[in-house]
Structures are given as structure tokens and as C-alpha cells.
């Protein structure tokens, strides 16, 4: 059973090709630049934060390479010409990228929290190997929870069989709609809400530790503030709207199948563009995490030279 949203699709077809085009260029350039700096500039200081950030950049690059497929799809008036297997793969990679991003941002926040709250334990016990193990666990976990997408996603004929759509759910079998909605609800709770609560709690601890510690420099406090702000922005404009409008859109399709509420559909399309925007924001996130990236992008600040001089005196005294 297919649902008619043809009356609402003009906005979608006008919006998404240009949005995906800009995001493709910005995300590709930004993440390639970030990955190069992380590998080259941070290789002598290959700590847990670098390992987690590299995984995040690799995830972005894997998905950003599929955006040209969507650009062509919407440019052809929502006609998918790449086959059913590629359609399912694109939807699977989108889901993986979204939740890999959320879980690695959570891991970075927990890593930051532990490093500031328990500095001696972190220096003596937390090694890059632990971050690599956490990275493997995140990839496997996200891969497992994303597998149902390969079942639900498929090509689907349009209302008048004029074009072939690539959709997250075609709904040709009775009962699949409820299962698909339940699966999306699970992803929203386990894949977005739970990581958000962990991330938010971690940064609350980080803020308390940083602002109470008189030995932490103003520059370090600014970096922490930027990091927290960027994560809040990611959730506020990228992660939360996508899940809210997706669930509401699916709910309306199930309970009001014969009505096309365009503002719901249009809001969902905007949220899809914002969901992929996270790939463009991540390189800015790395600037808040690593001095080498901030210096490469923005140049040195006077406080950088002061902090370097202090560290040299400390090493000389030791």
C-alpha cells in the first residue's frame, strides 16, 4: 500500500538536490582536510581522542560519497536508476552514518569527561587501544541495529508507475508499517535519546570540573565551551528534528493514510537535509578538540605561545 504525497513533493524536489550538493562539497573537503591533519599532525600524539575523531571522519567520508546518487535521484524528478541493491545500500549507509556519528560523539564526550574528572587514572590506564576497541564495538553495534534497514528499504513504484522511487519503506505487505514504525521508534530511543542523555551528563561534569579548576587556562575553557555548544547545535538542528519529524510523518501515514499534511512532510524533508548537515559540522568539532587543527585553520593565538612556553619551563624544571 503506497501513500500519496505527490501534492507535497514540489518543495522536496526543489530543496534537497541543492542542499545535498552543498553538503557534499563542504563535507568532502572538510573531512578530507580533517582526516589528513589528524593523521599527519597528531600522529606523534595518537591518543584516544584522535582515534575516536578519525573514526567519525571516516564514517562521514563513507556516506558523503553516496550523496551524488541522491542528487541525481532528485534531479531526475525522484526517479531511481541505480537498482534495488544500491538503493538499500544507500539507506543502510545513511542510517549507519547517522548513528555512528551520535555514538562517537557520545564516546568523545565520555572520554573528555573521564580525562578531566580522573586525570591520573586516564594518564596511567587509558590507552589508544581502548579507544580502538570502543570504535570497533560502536561500528559493530551500529551495523547490527541498522541491518533491518536492508529489509525495509527498497525501490518502489510511484503512484502512477511513472517513476521508480528509492524509499526507506515501501509498505507493500500488510503489517509491515507497524513493524517499521516500531523499529524507527527503537532507533530514536536507543540511537538518539540514550546517547544524548549520556553526552549531556558527561558535558555537565566537564563544565563543572573546568570552571572550578583555576589552573585551566582561558583558552582551554573556550575550547570546552565551543565543544559543548557544537554538540548542542548538532542535536538541536541535526539529530533531534530528524527523529521527531520522521516519527510524526510515519505516524500520520499509518493513522491518516488518505490525507497529505504537507507541513509535516515538508518539515520531514528539511530535517533530512539537516540530518546530513552533521558531516559539515564535525570538522569544526575537531577544531575544539585538537590544537593542531585550530592552528591550521585559524592561526596561532597569543595564548598558544604562552602555553607552549609554560610547558617548556615545566619540562626543563622536571
- What pLDDT does 261 receive? 75
Which of the 8 DSSP states describes residue 236?
Answer: I
Nearest to 110 by CA among 215, 195, 221: 195
> pLDDT 10s per residue in the chain (318 long)?
344 566 678 888 889 999 999 999 999 999 999 888 888 876 667 788 889 999 999 999 999 999 999 999 999 999 999 999 999 999 999 999 999 999 999 999 999 899 888 888 888 888 889 999 999 999 999 999 999 999 999 999 887 778 899 999 887 666 688 899 999 999 999 999 999 999 999 999 998 888 888 777 887 788 788 888 888 888 999 999 999 999 999 998 888 766 667 888 899 999 999 999 999 999 888 877 766 555 555 555 555 555 445 444 444 444
Say if CB 209 and CB 260 are below 8 A apart.
no
- What pLDDT does 224 receive? 82
- What pLDDT does 2 receive? 41
3 state DSSP class of 81: coil
Domains annotated on the chain, with CATH = 9-305 (1.20.1070.10)
- β partners of residue 166: 155
Residues contacting 155, CB < 8 A, separation 6+? 80, 83, 84, 87, 164, 165, 166, 167, 170
Grid cell locating 297: 585553520
- What pLDDT does 314 receive? 43
Q: At what angle do helices 240-255 and 176-188 cross, to 10 degrees?
A: 160
- What pLDDT does 174 receive? 61
- What pLDDT does 316 receive? 44
Q: Quick count: other Cβ atoms within 10 Å of Cβ 220?
A: 16
For residue 299, report the phi and psi dihedrals to the nearest 5 degrees: 85, 170
Amino acid at each position: 500500500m503506497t501513500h500519496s504525497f505527490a501534492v507535497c513533493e514540489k518543495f522536496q524536489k526543489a530543496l534537497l538536490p541543492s542542499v545535498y550538493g552543498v553538503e557534499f562539497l563542504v563535507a568532502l573537503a572538510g573531512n578530507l582536510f580533517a582526516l589528513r591533519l589528524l593523521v599527519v599532525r597528531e600522529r606523534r600524539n595518537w591518543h584516544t581522542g584522535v582515534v575516536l575523531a578519525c573514526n567519525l571522519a571516516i564514517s562521514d567520508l563513507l556516506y558523503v560519497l553516496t550523496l551524488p546518487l541522491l542528487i541525481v535521484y532528485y534531479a531526475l524528478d525522484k526517479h531511481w536508476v541505480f537498482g534495488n541493491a544500491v538503493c538499500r545500500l544507500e539507506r543502510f549507509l545513511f542510517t549507519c552514518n547517522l548513528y555512528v556519528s551520535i555514538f562517537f560523539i557520545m564516546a568523545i564526550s565520555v572520554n573528555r569527561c573521564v580525562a578531566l574528572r580522573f586525570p591520573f587514572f586516564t594518564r596511567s590506564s587509558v590507552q589508544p587501544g581502548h579507544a580502538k576497541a570502543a570504535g570497533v564495538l560502536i561500528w559493530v553495534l551500529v551495523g547490527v541495529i541498522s541491518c533491518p534497514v536492508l529489509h525495509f528499504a527498497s525501490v518502489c513504484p510511484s503512484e502512477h508507475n511513472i517513476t521508480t522511487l528509492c524509499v526507506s519503506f515501501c509498505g507493500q505487505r500488510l503489517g509491515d508499517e507497524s513493524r517499521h514504525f516500531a523499529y524507527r521508534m527503537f532507533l530514536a530511543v536507543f540511537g538518539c535519546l540514550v546517547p544524548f542523555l549520556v553526552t549531556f551528563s558527561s558535558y555537565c561534569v566537564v563544565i563543572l570540573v573546568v570552571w572550578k579548576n583555576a589552573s585551566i587556562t582561558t583558552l582551554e575553557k573556550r575550547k570546552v565551551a565551543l565543544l559543548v555548544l557544537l554538540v548542542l547545535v548538532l542535536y538541536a538542528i541535526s539529530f533531534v528534528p530528524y527523529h521527531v519529524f520522521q516519527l510524526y510523518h510515519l505516524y500520520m501515514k499509518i493513522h491518516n493514510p488518505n490525507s497529505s499534511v504537507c507541513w509535516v512532510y515538508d518539515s520531514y524533508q528539511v530535517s533530512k537535509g539537516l540530518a546530513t548537515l552533521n558531516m559539515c559540522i564535525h570538522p569544526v568539532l575537531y577544531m575544539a578538540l585538537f590544537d593542531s587543527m585550530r592552528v591550521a585553520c585559524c592561526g596561532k593565538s597569543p595564548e598558544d605561545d604562552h602555553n607552549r612556553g609554560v610547558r617548556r619551563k615545566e619540562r626543563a624544571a622536571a
